[in-house]
Structure 1
Amino acid sequence: MLLLDLDTYAPEERADAFHHAMNDASVPNDVVHESPETGIRARFETWRVGSLDLFDVRSTGFEVRRTARHVRHHRDRPVVSVSLQTAGIHRAENAGERYVLGADDIGVFHELAPRRYGWSGEGSSWAVTIDMEHLGVPVDTVARASVRLRTSPLHDLVLAHLCTLRRDPGRLEKDPGAAALGNATTDLVRALLTSAAHDEDDQRVRSVMDDCLAGRIMAYTRRHLSDPELSPERIAHEHAISKRQLYAVLCRAGIRLEQWVISERLEAACRLLTSPQHAGLPVSAVAARCGFTSPSHFTRRFRATYGVTPREWRRHRTGEASRAVPEDRP
């Protein structure tokens, strides 16, 4: 949903509109624009995925300043914001420390802690906000973790998960699994914050790592779906558990590993088959890219799931029956 587009406002109204949208989407803040005299531009979009609110912010340079005075006027249900820096170099001050956030960093801000955040020139940020009560992590833990997230072995896993959420939030918003996805994301963020804030031999860290094991296994598996050598033995080895433990953990999460992997690979194939950038990619190459070693096996699985062959799917979904796609069989 489009929350704000400053191109629809008169120049003299833009600063107030930006301030209102920023405070409405978050909490009271002071907002300072880098170059208001040359024109402020911004576009805010938002989605709701289960218990999560997702925001995409693109704008000219600004800085949000949240002081102790603002903290005293927080809303009834404050949130923790987890963000990706999708364009530009972002500056932040949190927990008394100043730092820079780049494309491979995660930014975390608690509403009940003073902070500064913003960028110069054109920039953009994508964020997930999680209800503080649902997250269940104290303010001091979030503040401590926010400046040392990369010390956690979970950082890259959570980063990859957030990047996946960002890919098509509109589709996720409507998915029947949105509520479960929201809960799983909250669990991963809780694990990251706990891991980053405490020593790894701390009982809290061990407990939260155990709690999010199924999520970590699923995230690892998604990252390696294109590898035809992916196996239960390898997945178990990468998580320092036995194959039997692997199946038990996933069973408790309601997941049958082999069927789930096939389903994920077929979904990836569907996206490739209808992607304009891959319009000339033969079906056999699509199969290989999605981890299928046999094109005929891929076609059988695809037809059994979707009722049509991969070639028919591509033709029907793109609406271009005459598209010149290299012939390959089956």
Structure 2
Amino acid sequence: MKRAAPTIRDVAAAAQVSTATVSKYINGAQRFSPKVEAALQSAITSLGYKSNPLAKSMITGRTDTIGLSVLDITNPYFSSILKGANRVANDRGFSVLLIDTEETPSRERRTLEELARRVDGMIVFSRMREHEMTWMAEIDKPLVFFGSLNELPLPTFASDDHGGAFMLTQHLRLLGHKRFAYLGFSKSRRDEERLGGIRECLGAAGLDLAIYDAEAPSLLEGERLCSSIVLGSGGPDALICYNDLMALGFMKEAANLGVAVPRDISVVGFDNIPYGKYTTPALTTVDLQSERLGAAAMDKLLAVIRGEPVEKLTKIAPQLILRASTLARRG
């Protein structure tokens, strides 16, 4: 016959205290003398008692859970964000509840409002423009947002997309490239920042930029748009892609079309996803420090939950990763 799980009453009887004392102890609502706490811990350990998280949340109003809303968990960039955030959360006694909005802005509001009822705070990625997000500031839970905001009073964290794009473009300029193209994703506000860094660098040299816009930041879109980019007259000798996934999709289709990377065209991306160094050729990219970003965002949110002051924007510097998908041009 299966033995019944020990209850709070069993712990109280073993420690010779009231059930109210046990409840306050396990929920951290009150401290007791060392003697009483030792008796309580001894009873809990010997009985194998485990508290009910749901009951605890009803008493304390806390779930010890953080919500993380990402745009596409199949993208390795967001997997790294989750890894960094989860590590910090676990170290602080929190768990992470992941929500994937699947690059669908229309479902974000309902999803986030439902998530807010189940967590102590949220880290949010969104494709929405700032004027569409005023409701987000009204959610009655601590929230940290990814990306720069001009008006909404939310603490934010971000990578330096503008600086990373400038570095990447400058590298290609120093290799002697003259004909530049950008395979972008205009539905993302980060696209504006990356495009701004590229244009600043090229503008200083008097160089033009051809722009191609993808429907999604995916392998398939990089593959689909490849022929439009490389088969026209006067095509680019350097392509900057919005992210590594699009760059890898482009490189695959370029090989099918008989276009050699980097002999015919240098290709670069953003994010430094793990697959990039295993392709042939390996992909030059900007490492946006995604795992560090996840950890920094979680640190910031937990500080907000504790009621501590935090800076409005936390920005992490990128790093240029040089590999074989770029080649110097002569003449």
Query: TM-score, normalised to structure 2's length?
Result: 0.23
Using CA pairs under 8 Å that are at least 6 residues apart, name the structure with larger relative contact order, 1 or 2.
Answer: 2
Q: Which has the larger radius of gyration?
A: 2
